[in-house]
């Protein structure tokens, strides 16, 4: 337990990272938000609940406590843009729809943001790095699953409706192509769901930075359309009947990744 994240250590070579489900705000950020942002609309809602079966599979699970409005854990610490076109940075200044995030004159000071980097961002990434090293030491390899979700319609970020399952492997640079193919097969067999590999979302900083297939660390990002498990409008209610079939696909994806690992790295 840490006040910037929660972590549970598992027994299989899989780490699930949940960087954008946090709801905590610092005093400066909470005070400065514009009214439309106070409900934290760009949160990856309910992801820990959606994946709460993962610990039974033996996975390690890391969940951020602070909102991405404080600092975005899926951006590099130098804030170099990851995507061409509209995006959000290490310290978001707009909502996904382009609305300014802070009231005039209420943007946190540079010194405060430097503190967020040291106090929130670095501990999360240190935990990822140390857990991946532990898993690889024990098992000979490690799998990293970066779990996200997003509203299915965000015109500023992408055209039309987002596919339900958006797998990102940084164009197969962050994991073995064979693993990506296995995951695509699971999605293709999931009736009633759409999917894409390396579409609008190819994987953010976590996937790109830690994925290192040449050194037996394979990272995948899943950006899940929120319409598959919740109401996409406030108050963003979780819908159990809608979510259960989605959870089953998630389970199959994680089981497929673990099966691929066992076959590829026999002990």
Identify which of 128, 122, 123 has the alpha carbon closest to the alpha carbon of residue 142: 128
Domain boundaries, the chain: 5-264
- What span, in angstroms and rounded, lies between the C-alpha atoms of 267 and 265? 6
Q: How many CB atoms lie within 10 A of CB 89?
A: 15
Q: What distance in Å separates the CA atoms of residue 9 and residue 15, rounded to the nearest whole number?
A: 9
Angle made by CA atoms 204, 30, 2, in degrees to the nearest 5: 60
End-to-end CA distance of the chain: 32
CA distance 211 to 141: 11
Residues 61, 51 contacting (CB under 8 angstroms): yes
What ranges make up the beta strands (E) of the chain? 5-8, 14-18, 60-64, 142-150, 165-168, 195-197, 217-225
Contacts for 142 with CB less than 8 Å, ≥ 6 apart: 13, 14, 15, 132, 133, 135, 136, 216, 217, 218
Cα distance between residue 260 and residue 101, in whole Å:
42
Tokens of residue 160, six digits: 């039309």
pLDDT confidence of residue 85 = 57
Rounded Cα distance, 213 and 203, in Å: 15
Contact 182, 256 (CB under 8 A): yes
Assign domain 5-264 to its CATH superfamily: Zn-dependent exopeptidases (3.40.630.40)
Contact between 91 and 46 under an 8 Å Cβ cutoff? The reply is: no
- CA–CA separation, 81 and 96 (whole Å): 15
Q: Which two tokens stand for residue 12?
A: 């299989």
What pairing do the DSSP bridges indicate for beta strands 165-168 and 195-197? parallel
CA distances from 22 to 17, 38, 139, 177 (A): 12, 14, 30, 31
Rounded distance between C-alpha atoms, residue 196 and residue 165, angstroms: 7
Confidence at residue 1, expressed as pLDDT on a 0 to 100 scale: 39
Q: Are 199 and 157 in contact (CB under 8 A)?
A: no
| Cα 175–chain centre separation | 16
Dmax (CA) of the chain: 59
Task: List per-residue pLDDT tens for the chain, 267 residues long.
Answer: 368 999 999 999 999 999 999 999 999 999 999 999 999 999 999 999 999 999 999 999 999 999 999 999 999 999 887 765 556 789 999 999 889 999 999 999 999 999 999 999 999 999 999 999 999 999 999 999 999 999 999 878 888 899 999 999 999 999 999 999 999 999 999 999 999 999 989 999 999 999 999 999 999 999 999 999 999 999 999 999 999 999 999 999 999 999 999 999 998
């Amino acid at each position: 337990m840490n006040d910037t994240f929660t972590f549970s250590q598992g027994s299989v070579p899989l780490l699930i990272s949940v960087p954008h489900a946090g709801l905590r705000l610092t005093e400066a950020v909470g005070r400065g938000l514009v009214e439309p942002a106070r409900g934290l609309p760009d949160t990856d809602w309910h992801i820990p609940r959606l994946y709460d079966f993962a610990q039974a599979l033996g996975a390690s699970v890391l969940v951020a406590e602070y909102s991405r409005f404080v600092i975005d854990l899926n951006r590099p610490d130098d804030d170099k843009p990851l995507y061409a076109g509209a995006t959000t940075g290490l310290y978001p200044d707009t909502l996904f729809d382009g609305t300014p995030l802070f009231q005039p004159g209420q943007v946190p000071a540079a010194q405060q943001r430097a503190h967020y980097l040291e106090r929130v961002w670095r501990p999360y990434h240190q935990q990822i790095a140390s857990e991946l090293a532990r898993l690889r030491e024990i098992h000979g390899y490690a799998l990293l699953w970066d779990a996200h979700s997003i509203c299915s319609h965000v015109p500023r970020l992408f055209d039309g409706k987002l596919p339900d399952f958006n797998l990102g492997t940084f164009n197969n640079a962050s994991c073995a192509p064979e693993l990506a193919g296995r995951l695509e097969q699971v999605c293709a067999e999931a009736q009633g769901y759409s999917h894409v590999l390396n579409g609008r979302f190819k994987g953010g900083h976590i996937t790109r930075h830690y994925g290192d297939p040449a050194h037996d660390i394979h990272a995948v990002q899943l950006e899940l359309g929120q319409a598959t498990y919740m109401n996409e409008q406030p108050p963003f209610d979780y819908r159990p009947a809608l979510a259960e079939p989605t959870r089953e696909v998630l389970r199959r994806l994680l089981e497929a990744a673990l099966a691929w690992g066992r076959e590829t790295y026999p002990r």
